[in-house]
Amino acid sequence: MSKFILALSIITTTFSFCTQSKQISVSVLTELNMPVGNVVVYLTPKNLKQSNTSNEIDIMDQVNTQFLPHILVIQKGTQVRFPNSDSIKHHVYSFSPAKTFELQLYKGLHAAPLLFPKFGSVELGCNIHDWMLGYIFVVDTPYFGKTDIKGNLTLDLPDGEYQLDVWHSRIQDKLSSLSRQLTLPGESEIKIILKSPLLPDVNQYEEVSGEFSDYE
């Protein structure tokens, strides 16, 4: 094969790959047409023959006695580290079916990463600081993200058929009612409007006071 033909073949293959990718925009709004940020959006390809897993290591930190980020979305098979950036000890736990675990009192980077092999939401708490609340949402697809402060998310996906789903701890709507069936290329702008008001924001935390000095 000549260099010219080889180069042409590479260009054609690259062009073909690019034309098979589609950018979509997803917006999530309240029933009052207000944007909802931090919403997990994930698109699962139809006829998925095997589970998608990840070998990544992600971070769920603890800063100013709260989990950071408040919601972490990861692909199934990802490991998560739980560093403690506070000057006091934390005791992280979860009783969620998707992942049950407990990290005893610790500071710094002493906690080993944990594997999250199951789909679903994992609610996090701290045995010492009751107001601390965080979430890890595990998806079974490589196509996911979270909406920004304006309620928007843009993703690039290969052509094909997908099911679009959303999740947030404050959404009261039946999640199945918010699902969308998509075929790409096709609809490029998806707007999801919630029918029920959001649950109250419980992601409030208190300043550490002297009552926790025993755990420093």
- Going by DSSP bridges, is the β-strand pair 99-106/90-96 parallel, antiparallel, or unpaired? antiparallel
For the record, the structure tokens of 15 come out as 């062009």
Q: Is 142 helix (H, G, I), strand (E, B) or coil?
A: coil
- Within the chain, all domains assigned CATH 2.60.40.420 are found at 50-140
For the record, the structure tokens of 101 come out as 């675990």
pLDDT in the model for residue 1: 52
pLDDT in the model for residue 49: 62
139-191 confidence digits (pLDDT tens): 999 999 999 999 999 999 999 999 999 999 999 999 999 999 999 988 889 99
Pair 33, 56: CB distance under 8 Å: no
* pLDDT at residue 194 is higher than 70: yes
22-48+147-199 CATH: 2.60.40.1120
Q: 37: exposed, middle or buried (C-beta count within 10 Å: 0-12, 13-18, 19+)?
A: middle
- Within the chain, all domains assigned CATH 2.60.40.1120 are found at 22-48+147-199
Average pLDDT value for residue range 82-106: 93
The CATH fold of domain 50-140 = Immunoglobulin-like (2.60.40)
95-118 confidence digits (pLDDT tens): 999 999 999 887 777 778 999 999
Nearest to 119 by CA among 153, 78, 83, 59: 78
pLDDT band at 18 (very low <50, low <70, confident <90, very high): very low
For the record, the structure tokens of 84 come out as 């403690």
For the record, the structure tokens of 65 come out as 């006695």
pLDDT band at 51 (very low <50, low <70, confident <90, very high): low
61-73 confidence digits (pLDDT tens): 999 999 999 999 9
**One-letter amino acid of 44:** T
User: What's the chain's average pLDDT?
Assistant: 85
Full DSSP string of 71-119: EEEEETTEEEE--B-SSS-EEEEEEETTEEEEEEEE-BT-SPPEEE-S-
